[in-house]
Amino acid sequence: MLRFYVEVARTAFRRQLIYRWANLAGLFTNVFFGAVISYVIIALFHARPVVAGYDVRDTLRYTWLVQAMIMVVLPFGWFDLLLTIRTGEVAADLNKPCDFYWYWFSREVGRDAYYLIFRGVPTYVAGMLLFGFGMPPGFSYWLPFALSLGAGAALGIAYRFLANLVSFWLIEGRAAAGLAYVIALFCAGSYVPIAFFPSGLRAVVEWLPFSALLNAPAEIFIGTAAASAVPLLLARQALWLVALTLAARGLTTLAGRRVVVQGG
């Protein structure tokens, strides 16, 4: 069965290769927004050399890393499952001789791998070339960053899967899913680092699953997370990943009882 899920992921990866021009357009979009935000950041740090422990180089690295990771973690704009629920195609997926959740999870792992290679790496390299902030010094952060990014990507799959499941109960589920995505984008640190939030809001957001999507990997990568805090960040990601995965599987079981197809 594991081989089946590997093949599903590989097929999803190859499917994305077809859309080369769409990916190129998306890459330019990431670079454009990264550049716009970067100039705002540079203007901010002309007034204040350090903000919440971040200097201008740290914040530029954070900004471009988020732009690089955002299509890998994808906390917004995904309605693939929702559309199959609306059209009734979900009945065929539920009857496949495999686990429904892991089938979709495998598809998204293949998509994430594609975007990591063809969108994430080029976006960050473009930021380095345009603004000259380079890579963080040392190599000790690479392994925890890889673990954190993998956990964030898996958490992103579980989160958007849950957001799409609302369509089993709502006639127009895109509004609810869209609201879930807006909240995730803001609370994940995709606009500004969570460290820039007011202290009260930051204390709450850091313990929500959204911080584990983008902010945790970014803080580990740029080194603003102390070495002693890295295990806590990883443990928090693991905890939310288990919780959201169990919630997705449990809700799928409930949703499956609502599916009615002709003939039974």
| % residues pLDDT > 70 (the chain) | 97
**Between 100-115 and 56-73, two packed helices, what is the crossing angle to 10 degrees?**
140
| Amino acid 260: pLDDT | 56
166 vs 136, higher pLDDT: 166
- Could you give the 3-state DSSP secondary structure of residue 63? helix
Distance CA 204, CA 10 (A): 38
Q: Are 75 and 184 in contact (CB under 8 A)?
A: yes
| Amino acid 170: pLDDT | 86
What's the pTM? Answer: 0.92
How does DSSP classify residue 206? T
Among 5-14, 169-178, 196-205, which stretch is predicted with the lowest mean pLDDT? 169-178
Among 85-94, 98-107, 171-180, 250-259, which stretch is predicted with the lowest mean pLDDT? 250-259
Confidence of residue 186 (pLDDT cuts 50, 70, 90): very high
**Could you report the per-residue pLDDT of 34-65, keeping only the tens digit for each?**
999 999 999 989 888 888 888 999 999 999 99
Look at residue 7 and tell me whether its pLDDT is greater than 90: yes
Among 110-124, 145-159, 184-198, which stretch is predicted with the lowest mean pLDDT? 184-198
Look at residue 257 and tell me whether its pLDDT is greater than 80: no
Average pLDDT of every residue of the chain: 91
**How far is CA 136 from each of CA 132, 206, 227, 242, rounded to the nearest angstrom?**
12, 23, 14, 30
Write the CB contacts of 187 (distance below 8 Å, at least 6 apart in sequence): 194, 205, 208, 210, 211
Which has the closest alpha carbon to 184: 208, 168, 203? Answer: 208
229 vs 260, higher pLDDT: 229
| % residues pLDDT > 90 (the chain) | 69
Confidence of residue 262 (pLDDT cuts 50, 70, 90): very low
Tell me the average pLDDT across 171-180: 89
| Amino acid 151: pLDDT | 96
Look at residue 238 and tell me whether its pLDDT is greater than 70: yes
Write the CB contacts of 124 (distance below 8 Å, at least 6 apart in sequence): 64, 65, 67, 68
| Amino acid 137: pLDDT | 79
Look at residue 74 and tell me whether its pLDDT is greater than 80: yes
| Amino acid 263: pLDDT | 45
Question: Other C-beta atoms within 10 Å of 201: how many?
Answer: 11
**Could you report the per-residue pLDDT of 101-138, keeping only the tens digit for each?**
999 999 999 999 999 999 999 999 999 999 998 888 77
Look at residue 10 and tell me whether its pLDDT is greater than 60: yes
Distance CA 89, CA 96 (A): 12
Confidence of residue 259 (pLDDT cuts 50, 70, 90): low
DSSP string, 89-140: THHHHHTSSS-HHHHHHHHHHHHHHHHIIIIIHHHHHHHHHHH---PPSSST
